Amino acid sequence: MTKQDWKPGTMVYPLPAVMVSCGSTPDEHNIITISWTGTICTNPAMCYISVRPERHSYDIIKRNMEFVINITTEQLAYATDWCGVKSGKNVNKFKEMKLTAGKASVVKAPIIEESPLSIECRVKEILPLGSHHMFIADVVNVKADERYIDTETGRFQLDKAGIMAYSHGFYYALAEKIGRFGWSVKKK
Ligand X SMILES: Cc1cc2nc3c(=O)[nH]c(=O)nc-3n(C[C@H](O)[C@H](O)[C@H](O)COP(=O)(O)O)c2cc1C
**Interaction site with ligand X (CB under 6 A):** 17, 30, 32-36, 50-52, 55-57, 81, 84-89, 132, 166
Dist. CA 82–CA 65, nearest whole Å = 24
CB 112 within 8 A of CB 100: yes
DSSP 159: G
Residue 115's SS3 state is: coil
Whichever of 52 and 103 has its CB closer to ligand X, that residue is 52
Dist. CA 36–CA 17, nearest whole Å = 8
Q: How far is the CB of 32 from ligand X (least distance, A)?
A: 4
- Largest interatomic CA distance in the chain: 58
Q: How far is the CB of 22 from ligand X (least distance, A)?
A: 8
Q: How far is the CB of 147 from ligand X (least distance, A)?
A: 25
Residues 170/173/178/182 CA torsion (nearest 10 deg): 80
Name every residue whose Cβ is closer than 8 Å to that of residue 177 and which is 6 or more positions away in sequence.
159
Whichever of 55 and 143 has its CB closer to ligand X, that residue is 55
Q: Residue with CB nearest ligand X?
A: 84
Whichever of 36 and 148 has its CB closer to ligand X, that residue is 36
Q: How far is the CB of 103 from ligand X (least distance, A)?
A: 21
Q: How far is the CB of 50 from ligand X (least distance, A)?
A: 5
Whichever of 74 and 81 has its CB closer to ligand X, that residue is 81
- Cα 17 to chain centroid, rounded: 6
Whichever of 96 and 150 has its CB closer to ligand X, that residue is 96
Whichever of 56 and 160 has its CB closer to ligand X, that residue is 56
Report the candidate in 142, 145, 62, 64 with the shortest Cα–Cα distance to residue 108: 64
Q: How far is the CB of 141 from ligand X (least distance, A)?
A: 22
